[in-house]
Amino acid sequence: MQTALIVGIILALLWFIEKMLGTAMVIRPIVVSTIIGAALGDVQTGLLVGATLELVFMGFIQVGGAVPPDVLVGAGLGTAYAIIGNSGAEVALALALPIALLAQSIKVLVFIIRSWFMNYAMKLAKAANIKGMINLNVGGLLLHCAMYFIVGFVAILFGSNAVEAFVNNIPDAIMNGLEVAGGLLPAVGFALLLLPMMTKTNVLYFLLGFSLLAYMNIPILGITLFGVVLAFIIVYEFNGKNGDSDTTDKEDEEELFDV
């Protein structure tokens, strides 16, 4: 019971610190495993497991609405199981990824629940209720922290065998639904980012980028570089020379490279 409480509290606190400090990277395996190891009295194993899992989860970073396997839960519980069972990094490596995938699905459910408050958030924004928006944001963060505490507490309390059995007994229909929902979240995230920029003028650039990707198979990096050059030409060539400004070419150059 005590070990389960310790692990659950650590996972919740690390998530809270990560978001309150603006992605401080305290949920990376090298940090999570070390803290779990110190809390459970085996720092050496924590460091070893953290370094090993960091290689596995190195590319798992949440960007926008994308929901990758949960690094925090995978590293935390994998390390805890390795220390409790005195079985080393091999067990942590075997358990971390399945646990991270399960936590990913649970996180999708939390995101869905939080999306129900979007209309209320819009009302607060229109009313310029800054305090209300802060409270709503912190409330959503605490909901996530509660999820991490419950997952960590239950997983340690009932053991790794119960976790594996739970994962294996989830109906395929539910897992497929969660996978589809997780796949849609990135599209929703990009749509929300594009919404304030999608004007009658800017929609042409969106269609141009979509056409280059869909029909000409140009890589994302190539489209990005093309967009940078196009933005440079439009802002500093067309607008600069066709506008009402009387600045000289030298002044334009100084403005361009003024940092």
pLDDT by residue (tens digit) across 127-155? 999 999 999 989 989 998 999 999 899 88
pLDDT at 220: 83
Q: pLDDT tens-digit profile of 1-15?
A: 888 899 999 999 999
pTM of the model: 0.62
Question: Which among 107, 113, 95 is positioned nearest to 166, based on CA atoms?
Answer: 95
Q: Token pair of 82, please?
A: 């390795």
- Residue 167 has a pLDDT of 57
Residue 179, token pair as written in the block: 């996978």
Q: How many residues does the chain have?
A: 259
* Mean of all residue pLDDT scores within the chain: 79
**Can you state the angle between helices 71-84 and 43-56, rounded to 10 degrees?**
140
Cα 247 from Cα 252, distance rounded (Å): 7
Position 202 scores a pLDDT of: 78
Report whether pLDDT(257) > 50: no
Q: How far is the CA of 29 from the CAs of 9, 78, 210, in angstroms?
A: 16, 10, 36
Distance between CA atoms of 142 and 136, rounded to whole angstroms? 10
CA distance 153 to 6: 8
pLDDT band at 256 (very low <50, low <70, confident <90, very high): very low
182 vs 152: which has the higher pLDDT: 152
- The per-residue pLDDT for 259 is 45
**Percentage above 90 pLDDT, the chain:** 19
Q: Is residue 189's pLDDT more than 60? A: no
Asked if residue 89 has pLDDT above 50, the reply is yes
Q: How confident is the model at residue 87, as a pLDDT? A: 65
Block residue for tokens 């370094």: 51
The residue extents of the domains of the chain are 2-197, 203-256
Higher local confidence (pLDDT), 230 or 241:
230
Give residue-wise pLDDT tens across range 92-121: 666 777 778 778 778 888 878 888 888 888
pLDDT of 235: 82
3-state DSSP assignment of residue 66: coil
What's the pLDDT score for residue 59?
64
Average pLDDT rounded to a whole number, residues 22-51? 90
Three-class SS state of 219: coil
